[in-house]
Structure 1
Amino acid sequence: MSEGTGRGSTSAARARLLDTATKIFYAEGIHSVGVDRIIAEAQVTRATLYRHFTGKEELVLAYLDQADRGIRAGIEAARAGERSAADAVRAVARFITGGIQSPGFRGCAFLNAAAEYPDAAHPIHQAVLAHRQWFLETVTELLAQVGDEPAEGAGRHLVMLRDGAMAAGCLSDPKPIAETFLLGVEGILRVREA
């Protein structure tokens, strides 16, 4: 199989690089991992890495893009077919708690990346902000369909609950954290439905 010749082209080598980087970045952090380790574990040459990515920063951006696409797809699948907006919010919450309780969970990839790239102007931090803005808009839109009052505050509340659950879920037993998060979402919905 050909490795491809242009940046962004799909190939087995590019997929191995991205899969390897994703696994290690998520498990160990971004700054702690060098490209030499990713190259070795992906079993590619340095030239192959640079054929597909300009450097580590572009690889990190691809990792976050892949995480973003996975979360968007998961949330859309969770929402699909729900009878009401409130049920769609519950389905999104269950999707989130499923992640928190999954093996190897180490928090939110985006919050982790923001902690490592605190400069708001940095492209990696910008990718984090774009993902968070999408998530906020998505849950605010759903919550707006649940009640007549403006939903911006409720959307921010849900995002804040999610952030706390993501942080706590990797520090302690995730099951009670997930249950508490779901109770918090039910509280938001009760206020919206009142």
Structure 2
Amino acid sequence: MSRGTAGGSTSEARARLLGTATRIFYAEGIHSVGVDRIIAEAQVTRATLYRHFTGKEALVLAYLDVADQGIRGQVAAAREGAGTAADEVRVVARSIAEGIRSPGFRGCAFLNAVAEYPDPAHPVHQAVLAHRQWFLETVTDLLARAGREPGDEAGRHLVMLRDGAMAAGCLFDPDLVTETFLAGVEGILRRA
């Protein structure tokens, strides 16, 4: 994924801009937030914004890149130390469940973003598809190694369960949602 910077450098101002945008985009949506608000809350100038990002779209892409890297790190950490491939699937599923139960949970950042950028050719939509493809390939590989064949069918099933849990987690009791999600993952694994 593109970093979305004009100069590529990391600075305190860039970090504040990206942190502010991440917080607001996730909590309130992308289209509802203007760059003037991000600039004001990050306490930077408009020139500083454009020194680090070519525009709002680049800031949105950087926000999604941060979310992507965070999820990749979460999955990698969850997989470390798990015994079998089935255990790795369970640990990844539990990390998803923990996210759904976390304070301020507002669904999947990627599903939220794609709802605001429905054009498949748009760079934001493409960034969402790239993240989702990585996640699908990751869980498909784990499920195939766990003996769940065909792995691609099981992978799609797990991704759909996750998507449903992410949507339901901000609408209903997160504990009940995650309990149902984890039971569904166990069902997929039992078919192995």
**TM-score tier after normalising by the smaller chain length:** over 0.9
1:85 paired residue number: 85
2:46 aligned with 1:46:
yes
2:111 paired residue number: 111
Q: Is the Cα–Cα contact under 8 Å of residues 117 and 125 in structure 2 kept in the other structure?
A: yes
Residue type of the alignment partner of 2:33: V
Q: After TM superposition, list the pairs within 5 Å mapping 1:142-181 onto structure 2.
A: 142-147=142-147, 149-181=149-181
2:129 paired residue number: 129
Residue type of the alignment partner of 2:147: G
Separation in 2, partners of 1:68, 1:133: 11
Separation in 2, partners of 1:141, 1:13: 39
Separation in 2, partners of 1:128, 1:32: 19
Off by >6 Å, runs of 4+ in structure 1: none
Separation in 1, partners of 2:129, 2:58: 17
Q: Secondary structure at the match of 1:76?
A: helix
Separation in 2, partners of 1:74, 1:148: 23
Percent of residue pairs identical: 79
2:28 aligned with 1:28:
yes
Alpha-carbon shift at residue 187 of structure 1 (Å): 0.2
Separation in 1, partners of 2:148, 2:175: 33
The CA RMSD over aligned residues, in Å, is 1.1
Q: Secondary structure at the match of 1:99?
A: helix
Distance 1:148 1:49, change over 3 A: closer
Separation in 1, partners of 2:27, 2:171: 14
Separation in 2, partners of 1:9, 1:64: 18
Alpha-carbon shift at residue 148 of structure 1 (Å): 6.0
Alpha-carbon shift at residue 6 of structure 1 (Å): 5.8
1:10 paired residue number: 10
Q: Which stretch has the larger CA shift, 129-138 or 149-158?
A: 149-158
Give ranges in structure 2 of 5+ residues lacking alignment: none
Separation in 2, partners of 1:114, 1:149: 30
Q: TM-score, normalised by structure 1?
A: 0.95
2:61 aligned with 1:61:
yes
Give ranges in structure 1 of 5+ residues lacking alignment: none
Q: Deviations over 1:60-85 (max 9, x none)?
A: 00000000000000000000111100
Residue type of the alignment partner of 1:95: S
Separation in 2, partners of 1:178, 1:150: 25
1:102 paired residue number: 102
Q: Deviations over 1:116-172 (max 9, x none)?
A: 000000000000000000000000000001116221100000000000000000111
Separation in 2, partners of 1:98, 1:46: 37
**How many equivalent pairs are there?**
188
